[in-house]
Amino acid sequence: MYLHGLDTPIEYLKGVGPERAKSLKKELNIHIYEDLINHYPFRYIDRTEMHSVSQLTADSGVVQLIGKISNVDTVGEKRAKRLTAVFSDGTGVLNLVWFQGIKWVKPQITNSEKFLVYGKINAFKGRLTITHPEIEAVSAENASGLAKASLQPVYSTTDLLTRKGLHSKGIARLAKALMPIVDQSLKETLPATISEILKLGPRKVAIKNIHFPSDKIAYQKAQYYLKFEELFFIQIRLLKLKKNRQLKHKGFVFVEVGNYFKAYYNEILSFELTNAQKRVVKEIRKDLGSGKQMNRLLQGDVGSGKTVVSLLIMLIAIDNNFQAVLMAPTEILAQQHFKSLASDLEKVGVGCAILTGSTKQAERKIIHEELLSGKIKVIIGTHALIEDTVQFKNLGLIVIDEQHKFGVAQRAKLWAKNKNGIPHVLVMTATPIPRTLAMTLYGDLDTSIIDELPPGRKPVKTIHQYEKHRAKVFGFLKEQVDKGRQAYVVYPLIEESETLDYNYLMDGYESISRMFPLPEYKIGILHGRMKPEDKEIEMQKFARGETHIMVSTTVIEVGVNVPNSTIMVIENAEKFGLSQLHQLRGRVGRGAEQSFCILLSSYKLSLNAKVRLETMCRTNNGFEVAESDLKLRGPGDMMGTQQSGITDLKISNLVTDGKILGLAREMAQKILEEDPSLEKHPLLLNELQRKKKRFKNWSRIS
Ligand code: ADP
Ligand code: MG
């Protein structure tokens, strides 16, 4: 009935039945035999070492003994009721005690057999005792198996399953029952060439040893196999997606570097590009001329100059008679891009407009028309650009700033805006993301990295201070402002309690207003409850130097550029995530003067918060910050990962398995280069299709 045994519904497994099957499905997503096999233990009890009673002290910890159990007795009444027994292995004796499960344990103990006893030693009234030991009869037949099953699997389970007898051991029993089927019918998934190169051995051995490893080495090998396999299939899927796209979609060919580009580059651009910027422009130009559709991720630290790169690329699009879109995640950012780019674009004669949620209807109509006629060549905006009413004459390039805020479906909608083909796509991240995460999350994109800041930047000095020293900190802020510089004071934003945050911000605003009285000092305020126009007005005032101190929530987080601001004080810095702190810090240090970022916190700091603040003080390098952030939070909580499916990794770990991931990607690349459609690798193709069917959320990555 079922093809290879492992696709049999779980209820058919002996010891499961319909009731438990229902719970297994609901609680652990285990539907068929194979799912259970893929439910790997999350740790192991080490049973490689055997102890003898004579060596033991009260501090011996968890021990494993072999011997006889005698003097079994139930003593005490009601809540004090317990089962006691004496264990002896010939070198000495100790007590065993059970308070719970007496009626299960008692019948297991017989005088004739030897027992394996496992548990933590303690001393009770001067006698060595193990409370709630695990015991297992050692009959002749499993005595030989004993030495082998030295690492005992521990499975994750749930309360409900435990109540139905499927505690870790219960699950282990089921897994064990499946091992003969694994032996018989588990198929290889990896090409023989890879298994040989990496000395991976057969898959069934890996599966058997991940559940019931014979020793530590066997376990490590199994773990390596399964980690590689997991990461490899993600990579092959992403890279295949990329290949398919390249094969399917011809890219518009941008051959010309024409007058617009040259005019801007030679006459308007007021600084020399950094070497990293030049390299990246070259990489992108190569894509644009290749005849393949570009899908490239541009990573660079805060302030590394991604915008000008995107502008140059947009000019190339226009030189080739295409239009370009620059999409930002917020109104403020879109406005800012527009402000900084529109005048330059107009200087070289490129029509440019902005379209956001707050664009008036009448204006909108004109923009729609001019996009269709081709009069507008660059359109800058927010999500509003995605709407179906926005159509183009000939859209050739999409630049997405600060990608993580956009969903996959939104990307796809933009793609569809040229009937003759798919526009080139350049995605820019707000801050660097760790290498392993980039490879997984954006594994279907090519990557360019700007790893160099424009010259003359002084690294921001970051200092952690306790709130007690707030007066001193604001005294320093005053010195800066009196020197003619501008300052940010940032308050946390915790979405669950907007009102509280708001009050907190307002309190802060008031006390700062008292500290910095009018007319000498002007203070601006910026928060999420303001209308976009008002935010814009405040931001503009600050940008023009009309306000000296900007009191704000994290709405200034991304992109905003005011080079004269040299100091930022972050209140309750312990409440911010690491990437967010780094992004905020990027608002200062944009001019020639020395800048400061002061992190204020309470004394009560979690270990995690301490590491965050220390990391900020230690390094200005966004790539380092990102790695540290990944270590602290794990991939699941990093921006953009929640809906990506990579949090479903079963066995590998993006923090520690970077090497295996690199290898997996390399191998996947090699295979796809030689065999893009995988027709020579039916095993892989088959497995990919199977996985796709079984894990629908995989498709969400791309
Ligand atoms: P980000 O990568 O964070 O988006 P921006 O593109 O906003 O950074 O650039 C930050 C600032 O650096 C801008 O004021 C920009 O004009 C300036 N800039 C960019 N490239 C250079 C360069 N090569 N030399 C000098 N200044 C530069
Ligand atoms: Mg930017």
Report the DSSP pairing between strands 549-552 and 523-526: parallel
Residue 469 — pLDDT band, cuts 50, 70, 90? very high
- What is the rounded CA–CA span in Å between residue 233 and residue 238? 8
- The residue-averaged pLDDT of 455-476 equals 94
Helices (H), 8-94: 17-28, 33-37
Q: Which ligand is nearest to the CA of 278?
A: 1
Ligand 1 pocket check for 306: Cβ under 6 Å: yes
pLDDT of residue 700: 40
Ligand 1 pocket check for 271: Cβ under 6 Å: yes
Ligand 1 pocket check for 336: Cβ under 6 Å: no
- Ligand 1 site-directed mutation target among 281, 307, 401, 429, most atoms within 8 Å of CB: 307
- Ligand 1 site-directed mutation target among 280, 561, 579, 590, most atoms within 8 Å of CB: 561
Ligand 1 pocket check for 321: Cβ under 6 Å: no
DSSP-derived letter for residue 188 is: P
Q: Mean pLDDT highest for which of 266-280, 292-306, 438-452, 556-570?
A: 266-280
| Predicted confidence (pLDDT) at residue 3 exceeds the cutoff of 90 | no
* CATH architecture for residues 461-619: 3-Layer(aba) Sandwich (3.40)
Q: Which ligand is nearest to the CA of 309?
A: 1
pLDDT of residue 136: 82
- Ligand 1 site-directed mutation target among 271, 429, 451, most atoms within 8 Å of CB: 271
Ligand 1 pocket check for 304: Cβ under 6 Å: yes
Ligand 1 pocket check for 305: Cβ under 6 Å: yes
Ligand 1 pocket check for 454: Cβ under 6 Å: yes
| Lowest-confidence segment of 88-97, 130-139, 171-180, 308-317 by average pLDDT | 130-139
Report the DSSP pairing between strands 127-131 and 114-124: antiparallel
State the DSSP string of 100-135: S-HHHHGGG--SSSEEEEEEEEEEETTEEEEES-EE
Domain ranges of the chain: 1-48+157-186, 60-149, 259-288+305-429, 461-619
Q: Which ligand is nearest to the CA of 451?
A: 1
Q: Whose CA is nearest to atom 17 of ligand 1?
A: 305
Q: How far is the CA of 271 from the centre of ligand 1 (A)?
A: 10
Ligand 1 pocket check for 589: Cβ under 6 Å: no
On the 0-12 / 13-18 / 19+ scale of CB atoms within 10 A, 513 is: middle
pLDDT of 66-103, one tens digit each? 999 999 999 988 888 999 999 999 999 999 999 888 88
pLDDT of residue 592: 82
- The residue-averaged pLDDT of 411-427 equals 86
More confident residue, 230 or 457: 230
* H or E, element range at 73: strand 62-75
Q: How far is the CA of 307 from the centre of ligand 2 (A)?
A: 6
Domains 60-149 and 461-619 in one fold: no
- What is the rounded CA–CA span in Å between residue 385 and residue 365? 13
3-state secondary structure of 275: helix
Q: Whose CA is nearest to atom 12 of ligand 1?
A: 305
Ligand 1 pocket check for 317: Cβ under 6 Å: no
- What is the rounded CA–CA span in Å between residue 80 and residue 254? 84
pLDDT of residue 214: 84
| Predicted confidence (pLDDT) at residue 332 exceeds the cutoff of 80 | no
Q: Whose CA is nearest to atom 9 of ligand 1?
A: 305
Q: How far is the CA of 347 from the centre of ligand 1 (A)?
A: 19
Ligand 1 pocket check for 561: Cβ under 6 Å: yes
Residue spans of beta strands (DSSP E) within 407-536: 424-428, 446-450, 461-466, 486-490, 523-526
Residue 638 — pLDDT band, cuts 50, 70, 90? low
pLDDT of residue 697: 43
| Lowest-confidence segment of 400-404, 583-587, 622-626 by average pLDDT | 400-404
* CATH architecture for residues 259-288+305-429: 3-Layer(aba) Sandwich (3.40)
Q: Judge contact between 400 and 381, C-beta under 8 A.
A: no
**Which numbered atom of ligand 1 lies nearest the CA of 308?**
6
Ligand 1 pocket check for 641: Cβ under 6 Å: no
Residue 696 — pLDDT band, cuts 50, 70, 90? low
pLDDT of residue 147: 47
pLDDT of residue 244: 84
**Which numbered atom of ligand 1 lies nearest the CA of 563?**
14
pLDDT of residue 690: 84
- What is the rounded CA–CA span in Å between residue 621 and residue 698? 32
* CATH architecture for residues 60-149: Beta Barrel (2.40)
Q: Judge contact between 241 and 444, C-beta under 8 A.
A: yes
pLDDT of residue 636: 60
Q: Judge contact between 574 and 609, C-beta under 8 A.
A: yes
